[in-house]
Amino acid sequence: MGDGRIPLLVPATTLGMMLAKASLAYAAALDPKAHPMVLANEVETMSEGMSDAALRRMASVVALAVALALVVVKVWAWLATGSISLLTSAADGLVDVVASSVTFAGVRYAARPADRGHRYGHGKAEAVAAFVQALLLAGAAIGLGIESVQRLMVPQALNQTGFGIAVIVGSSLVAAGLVGMQTLVVKRTGSTAIAADRAHYVTDVAVNIAVLIALLLDRFLGWSRADAIGALAISAYMLWNARGMAQQALFQLLDRELDEPDRVRIEAAVRSCDGVQGVHDIRTRNGGDRVFVEFHVEVDGSLTVEAGHTIGDHAEKAVQRLFQGADVVAHLEPAGIDDERLDDLVN
């Protein structure tokens, strides 16, 4: 490693972390409710006083800043080494920049309150952002896969592999730290867009490991095709990851029902309320920033409208307590009536 360039990696990665810290301060300033401890070292601690919306903004700003820093370093390393696997990693990083930009916009749009034109809110913007990310990742994977096959057939010698190895190790550490931060944010907020962005950086860590192995094999064992094989494996992994991201986004965009355990919990919560004699036609969907739940609750037909309404309110509140964010609507019916039910149609 005597090319004299490796020490320059330190300022580059340090710059990425400085950008991340500056972004944290900026994200906190955007929300007047954000806690001043946003600049603390522990992400979990600093998130305690922040709203979910502020956490989403913070995560998207940090991801964008880090992605910009990493793509510059990786392009620099690719130009220095000529490694196709480093090019794959750099291209994946460029996709991360675009994807993080999409997430940045999607998270902000999704945080808008309901208005006259969007009475269910704007939460699905996160799913749109996630789907766009999946398309970008798939496109990059296909293009790089083709280039990798060509390089596999006609291998090329690499330059300055020591520098490339140092860049990949540094990039991996930064990406791993970002994944940890995003994991905490997703656990707290359930954000679809941040989860999709996190999947990008999980892929980035895996990509970096594959690149590292390929460069080590080339440097120490002289396996000239290891670089192309590593790049091809990375392309396949990127494509598989894009498939999973697109699937989850489409579940939300196409109003797929919540998982059966959640539906069972909803029914149990409604039946536990005093005065409820039955429940049917439960309908659910994920709106991104919240879940939407509708159901028909059966009560004694001789009750007054006011008494029945009170039972319905209690049932709605019981379901709301099951989720971090929920919009719940109960339709009141006298028990025992014979009418057409959605349950019968779907079963």
Domain boundary among 253, 270, 300: 253
DSSP string, 273-313: STT--EEEEEEEEE-SSSEEEEEEEEE-TTS-HHHHHHHHH
Is the domain of 197 the same as that of 276?
A: no
Note whether residue 112 is domain-resident: yes
Is the domain of 91 the same as that of 156?
A: yes
Return the CATH number at 292: 3.30.70.1350
Please choose, from the candidates 184, 239, 181, 175, the residue with its C-alpha nearest in 3D space to the C-alpha of residue 202: 175
Contacts of residue 116, defined as CB under 8 A and 6 or more positions apart, other chains included, come to none
Is the domain of 241 the same as that of 289?
A: no
Q: What single DSSP character describes residue 259?
A: P
For the chain, the domain total comes to 2
Residue 300: pLDDT band (50, 70, 90) is very high
Note whether residue 226 is domain-resident: yes
Measure the CA–CA gap between 204 and 169, rounded to whole angstroms.
12
Is the domain of 120 the same as that of 161?
A: yes
Helices of type H across the chain: 9-30, 43-46, 52-81, 84-110, 125-153, 161-189, 192-221, 226-253, 260-271, 305-320, 342-346
Return the CATH number at 172: 1.20.1510.10
**For residue range 253-286, what is the model confidence (pLDDT) as tens digits?**
888 999 999 999 999 999 999 999 999 999 999 8
Is the domain of 166 the same as that of 75?
A: yes
Task: Indicate if the pLDDT at residue 4 is higher than 60.
Answer: no
Note whether residue 19 is domain-resident: yes
Is the domain of 159 the same as that of 70?
A: yes
User: Which helix (H) or strand (E) segment is 327 a member of?
Assistant: strand 326-334
For residues 161, 164, 165, 169, the Cα torsion angle rounded to the nearest 10 degrees is 180
Measure the CA–CA gap between 110 and 248, rounded to whole angstroms.
17
Domain that holds residue 270: 260-346
Mean pLDDT of the chain: 78
Percentage of the residues of the chain whose pLDDT score is greater than 90: 20
Task: Indicate if the pLDDT at residue 23 is higher than 60.
Answer: no
**For residue range 70-105, what is the model confidence (pLDDT) as tens digits?**
888 888 888 888 887 787 778 777 776 776 677 677
State how far Cα 273 lies from the chain centre. 36
Measure the CA–CA gap between 342 and 347, rounded to whole angstroms.
8
Is the domain of 46 the same as that of 145?
A: yes
Measure the CA–CA gap between 178 and 199, rounded to whole angstroms.
11
State how far Cα 171 lies from the chain centre. 20
98, 71 Cβ separation under 8 angstroms: no
pLDDT of the residue at 8? 34
Measure the CA–CA gap between 202 and 194, rounded to whole angstroms.
12
Is the domain of 106 the same as that of 204?
A: yes
Is the domain of 107 the same as that of 207?
A: yes
Question: What's the token pair of residue 296?
Answer: 């028909």
Note whether residue 1 is domain-resident: no
Task: Indicate if the pLDDT at residue 168 is higher than 80.
Answer: yes
pLDDT of the residue at 37? 35
Q: What single DSSP character describes residue 14?
A: H
Is the domain of 321 the same as that of 299?
A: yes
Measure the CA–CA gap between 240 and 162, rounded to whole angstroms.
30
Note whether residue 147 is domain-resident: yes
Is the domain of 149 the same as that of 22?
A: yes
Domain boundary among 253, 285, 304: 253
Task: Please state the rounded mean pLDDT for residues 282-309.
Answer: 91
Is the domain of 78 the same as that of 170?
A: yes
Q: Does residue 20 or residue 304 have the better pLDDT?
A: 304
Domain boundary among 253, 273, 288: 253
